[in-house]
A = this chain, B = another copy of it.
Amino acid sequence: MKTKILAELRRASGYVSGQALCEEFHVSRTAIWKAINTLKKEGYEIEAVQNKGYRLVRVPEILSQKELESIRQTKWLASEYYYLDETESTNMVAKKLAEEGAAHGTVVVAGRQTAGKGRRGRVWETPPKTSISMTYVLKPDMMPGNASMLTLVMAMAVVRGIESLTGLEAKIKWPNDVVINGKKVCGILTEMSAQMDYINHIVVGTGINVLNEEFSDELKDKATSIYLETGKSVQRAGLIEAINRQFEHYYEIFMETQDMSVLAKEYNTLLVNLGGQVRVEGGKEPYVGNSRGITQRGELIVDTWEARRLVSSGEVSVRGVYGYV
């Protein structure tokens, strides 16, 4: 009921009368009063004025099942939230839930990851109460070969989500990072369980630096956070909701063709280094060329001085020739 009261207070522009809440939830005034008090204890600032009712004055930076559910306005994404204060890795949890039958659109969120994974098993650090660690469980009817493009769809959602909430201009570093002012703010790790011609499930995991006030000496030239870029504290739950809405939108477009043919044009406008020089490493020989954006299969087009190359998401890293990105 607390979640519902919270959602009700959020929806209201002004005061919500205690009587109205009693009637809506079929409980006593005392029950409402108790619920409001609990919310206050959790940090929600709620004003109570006689003959007017309750008003939500300020929402604290709280990441919780209740907070996430009370602001959810997506159609199908996050129809189930699975929130954990702390876990090894939200991708691991999501894979387990998916195996056990979790529905398409289930979202796992953790307050802290203790063993977050980047690509190829690399560690992804997440200090407590600073980051978003979130994984979507998706079960699309699609050929397994198309799944990796969901990393690109997610990157678009993160960029647009950050933009809508903060006005910051984030950019995509193909294929699975998001950067602000040349520094990494987000990494995406998509994993899939599949049969030859059938996807059991996909998990799309996202780590975002939100409230970090500093980074270690080793990282500070390469990493940033929303807080460091804006100087303002951002509600992680609100950012999750903003990203989820964007993902829902882009995912539905993606699924119509099951490739990037419709989204490529917009994607390319969000791409860092578009037109600039990039260095492709990790293949047989590294090479340098100009980034020309993605194909409808999500490959990066790189023009070298001798030929056009298509970089698929093989174990390569693409970086700008100048700076870290």
A190-B197 in contact given A99-B95, A145-B145, A314-B143 (Cβ < 8 Å): no
Distance of A100 Cα from B265 Cα, bound (Å): 41
A309 interface residue (CB < 8 Å to B): no
Which residues of the partner chain B approach A143 to less than 8 Å between Cβ atoms? 314
Distance of A118 Cα from B32 Cα, bound (Å): 53
CB distance from A32 to the nearest CB of B (A): 45
CB distance from A174 to the nearest CB of B (A): 11
Which residues of the partner chain B approach A192 to less than 8 Å between Cβ atoms? 144, 192-195
Give the number of residues in A that approach B within 8 Å (Cβ atoms). 28
Restricting to A171-214, which residues have a CB under 8 Å from any CB of B?
Answer: 175-176, 189-198, 200
A315-B189 in contact given A92-B99, A145-B145 (Cβ < 8 Å): no
Which residues of the partner chain B approach A190 to less than 8 Å between Cβ atoms? 195-196
Select from chain B the residue with minimum beta-carbon distance to A193: B193
Q: Are B196 and A119 in contact (CB under 8 A)?
A: yes
CB distance from A94 to the nearest CB of B (A): 12
Select from chain B the residue with minimum beta-carbon distance to A195: B191
Q: Are B198 and A120 in contact (CB under 8 A)?
A: yes
Q: Mark A27-71, 1 if CB is under 8 A from B, else 0.
A: 000000000000000000000000000000000000000000000
A151 interface residue (CB < 8 Å to B): yes
Distance of A145 Cα from B145 Cα, bound (Å): 7
A195-B99 in contact given A143-B314, A145-B145 (Cβ < 8 Å): no
Select from chain B the residue with minimum beta-carbon distance to A91: B195
Number of copies: 2
A176-B196 in contact given A92-B99, A95-B99 (Cβ < 8 Å): yes
CB distance from A150 to the nearest CB of B (A): 9
A148 interface residue (CB < 8 Å to B): yes
Distance of A312 Cα from B197 Cα, bound (Å): 9
A269 interface residue (CB < 8 Å to B): no
A189-B195 in contact given A99-B92, A99-B95 (Cβ < 8 Å): yes
A164 interface residue (CB < 8 Å to B): no
Distance of A190 Cα from B143 Cα, bound (Å): 15
Beyond contacts A190-B196, A192-B194, A198-B315: 11 other A-B pairs, Cβ-Cβ < 8 A, are A119-B195, A119-B196, A120-B195, A144-B192, A151-B196, A189-B195, A191-B194, A193-B193, A194-B194, A197-B314, A197-B315
Among all A-B residue pairs, the 4 with the closest Cβ atoms: A148-B196, A196-B313, A193-B193, A197-B313
Please, could you name 30 A-B residue pairs with CB atoms under 8 Å apart, sorted by A?
A: A92-B99, A95-B193, A96-B99, A119-B195, A119-B196, A119-B197, A119-B198, A120-B195, A120-B198, A144-B144, A144-B192, A145-B145, A148-B196, A148-B197, A189-B195, A190-B195, A190-B196, A191-B193, A191-B195, A191-B200, A192-B192, A192-B194, A193-B193, A194-B194, A196-B313, A197-B312, A197-B313, A197-B314, A197-B315, A198-B315
